[in-house]
Structure 1
Amino acid sequence: MQYETLHYDLTDGVALITLARPDVMNALNAQMRAELLHAVKRASGEARAVVLTGEGRAFCAGQDLGDTGNLNNINLERLLRDEYTPILLAIADCPVPVIAAVNGVAAGAGANLALACDVVIATESASFMQAFSRIGLMPDAGGTYVLPRKLGLARAMGLALFADKLSARDAADQGLIWEAVADDAFEDHWRARADHLASGPTQAFSRIKQAMRESLANGMEEQLMLEARLQGECGRTRDFREGVVAFLDKRPTKFEGR
């Protein structure tokens, strides 16, 4: 696919996907959604870590309202089911870690796109907003799934009902994202984080993602059995053997992702 609304770069095992419609704050139109789905699936097959970020002053302002056409004929159910859901599931199912490097405003579906990623690192000047109720809608793109699980019902409900802006620092303090980083250190920081993941035990990371996500629906015994099975798989990898040998030899590990 020839990308026109985003940039894709693969360097040293890190696939960098940059939303690139800065004139509209990287709002998601139909073309960008199709290209983003393709890019995430592509990265799943050739990268050891993925970074999703935005060009310009915003990460993503959500749905491009200028791309909705006639409001009397818009089918939001179809739009979410056929265009947004595949992207969010592709991120969840990606076998390698996905970092959202939130460089600015993340609003509406843009906020929830970021929160669908495995790790969210934001610049301190960034913000998150569940802006849906301001135009008579409810949170979508996974917002009603992620927010109560990360914040609890009270905070999730408040964000959805009031549509208040949440600063990156407050988002980190409340456990919504992993960390907020000073603006002048932001890019160097997320690149270092991505490089760390890309040089790590990829097979273990894949199973960490699976176990953490499935735990949300599992009982304790079911989760313990899942842990046992997945750990057994980790124990048969080359990276496990390398990790143990490196530890015993007191040298840095050289994981191959196998």
Structure 2
Amino acid sequence: MSGTEPTRLERRSTDAGAELAVLTLANPPLNLFDQPLFDALVADIAELTARPPRALLLRAEGKVVSGGVDVHVFDGLTVEQGAQLWRSLFETIIAPLEALPCPVVFAAHGLTLTAAFEIALACDIILATPTARFGLVETVVGLTPSMGGPQRLAERAGSGRAREFVMTGDLYAATTMAEWGVVNGVHEDVEAAAQALVTRLADGPTRAHAATKEIIGAWRSGGVAHADSVTPKVSGALFGTADLRGGVRSFLEQGPGKATYTGR
């Protein structure tokens, strides 16, 4: 995309030749989720779905990750239009982002409100700086977060924490989010930590990472018994991959930690 677009999608290669992607929110001054930003994000995720990388980093530039949603998006909507808005955002952003067959990392360097935090919760791993703060503040306009934030927050932190977080509309520090199990790691230099992690994941066994996501997705939708029921097929398919065959042979011949992966 051009430099005037509210998002920027870049593809890069690791030293080992694995492709990773970096999706940046670039809608100054506050990275507000207005209609152009939503539209750009939908287009970027559609492109990533059509041609998945081996790992994806979501980040933002500017003073904050996002100041939230531009309230003009909600102004004057009817009941059906409101419901259709959320259906559309689930179908075009949240669901396809979670369905990407690769690890997805979110890096938060500052204030991360509403839609940005809900998108973060749809990622596999969240990293943050010590000064980052998170909030679902939709109650300020009489709304509840509706891009999947409450339920995904409850999955990570428990239903009581999710109720508190949403109902108070307060801002919570990255350290608190880490204590709750929402943020995976707190780093002074979150950009460097996120880039290193995404590079490591991109160089890894991509099909195995996708299988991990599929098994955990089965647990999310149907519990342990359902996850157990799909694991033999999902994990069994990995024995047909070049990465598993090569990884096993490398382990037997050279010991652990020497394998290289191609994502196939």
Normalization by structure 1: what TM-score? 0.92
What is the alpha-carbon distance in structure 2 between the residues aligned to residue 205 and residue 238 of structure 1? 14
Distance 1:84 1:28, change over 3 A: farther
Does 1:131 pair with 2:140?
A: no
Pairwise CA distance, 1:199 = 0.5
Match of 1:253 in 2: 259
Note if contact 1:34-1:83 (Cα within 8 Å) is conserved in structure 2. no
Tell me the alpha carbon deviations over residues 165-212 of structure 1, each in whole angstroms, 9 at most, x when there is no partner. Answer: 111111011101211111xx2211110000001101010111111111
Q: Give 1:177-188 correspondences, 5 Å limit.
A: 177-182=183-188, 185-188=189-192
With over 3 angstroms needed to count, the CA separation of the structure-2 counterparts of 1:242 and 1:106, relative to structure 1, is: same
The answer to whether the 8 A contact 1:106-1:114 is kept is: no
Corresponding position of 1:109: 115
Partner of 1:52: 58
Query: Residue 14 of structure 1 contacts residue 50 of structure 1 at CA under 8 Å; is this kept in 2?
Result: yes
Percent identity, aligned pairs only? 26
Alignment size in residue pairs? 254
Alignment of 1:137-216 (within 5 A): 137-182=143-188, 185-216=189-220
Check the 8 A contact 1:37/1:90 in 2, yes or no.
no
Work out whether 1:41 is the aligned partner of 2:37. no
- Counterpart of 2:16 in structure 1 is none
Structure 2 contact 216–227 (Cα < 8 Å) conserved: no
**Structure 1, residues 131-185: CA drift from partner, whole Å, max 9, x if none?**
0112211121101221221111111111111111111111011101211111xx2
Task: State the Cα distance separating 1:225 from its structure 2 match.
Answer: 2.1
TM superposition shift of 1:19: 0.5
CA contact (8 A) 2:52 2:102 kept: no
Instruction: Indicate the residue corresponding to 1:242 in structure 2.
Output: 246
Matched with 2:227 is 223
Tell me if 1:30 matches 2:35. yes
Change in CA separation of 1:73 and 1:220 when aligned onto 2, cut-off 3 Å: closer
String of CA shifts for 1:209-254, please: whole Å, max 9, x gaps: 1111110222444322211111101121111012112212126211
* CA pair 77-189 structure 1, distance change in 2 beyond 3 A: same
Superposed displacement of residue 76, structure 1: 2.4
Gaps of 5+ in 2: 14-18
- Alpha-carbon RMSD across the aligned residues, in angstroms, is 1.8
Q: Report the counterpart of residue 77 of structure 1 in structure 2.
A: 83
**Runs of 5+ unmatched residues, structure 1:** none
Q: Secondary structure at the match of 2:183?
A: coil
1:33–1:84 contact (8 Å) kept in structure 2: no
AA partner of residue 15 (structure 1): A
1:100 is paired with a residue whose SS is strand
TM-score (norm 2): 0.90
